[in-house]
A and B are shown apart, each in its own frame.
Chain A
Amino acid sequence: MGLEDQAAVKRVADEHGSGVVVLLGTPDAESTQTLAQTVVAGDPSYAGPLAGVPLGLPVLHVFEPEVRDQVPADVYEAQVALMEMSLDRDAILAGLREARRVAATT
């Protein structure tokens, strides 16, 4: 995640406290894991404002069935369905599961 984006996420998380959830639209397993790690445990590259800052935010991906089920079908169809068909959904969600596993053990 870019340095300015990290600063924005940190500011918003600090401002709103609990009840903040991160919704990802990442296109592959690697970016999903990296981004999830950044907003849960801190910037893994130790370069940005989130370096050493474990925000511990809950992370969801828009391709997850539990997210899709909460979005009106016409909205999901218009905004997400095409990308979901063209990307490797299973690999992305496997990346998210791995990020959650790592977060739970650290």
Chain B
Amino acid sequence: MELRGKKVIALGERDGVPGPALAECARGAGAEVVLTLTACYV
């Protein structure tokens, strides 16, 4: 699936890839980031 032109919900996780890092990737691929979250399970 091509990300360019898509609206992306970035669902990151503290123990994985955080939301802002996903958002950077999505923007780099030409997508618009509409929500960025980073879950934290302890």
Contact = CB atoms under 8 A, between A and B. Distances in A.
Interface residues of B, number: 32
Contacts of A57: 9
Given A71-B28, A72-B28, A27 B1 contact: no
A76 B16 contact: no
A37 to B, nearest CB: 13
Where chain A touches its partner, the secondary structure class is mixed
Given A62-B22, A66-B1, A35 B35 contact: no
A16 B31 CA distance: 14
A24 B11 contact: yes
A87 B3 CA distance: 24
B16 A27 contact: yes
Interface residues on A, range: 35 or more
A25 B17 contact: yes
5 contacts: A19-B5, A19-B6, A62-B25, A75-B25, A79-B22
Given A23-B11, A60-B3, 14 more contacts: A9-B35, A13-B9, A16-B34, A19-B6, A19-B7, A20-B8, A21-B8, A22-B8, A23-B10, A25-B16, A70-B3, A75-B24, A76-B25, A79-B21
Interface of A: 1-2, 5, 8-9, 12-13, 15-16, 19-28, 31, 35, 39, 57-58, 60, 62, 66-67, 70-72, 75-76, 78-80, 83, 87
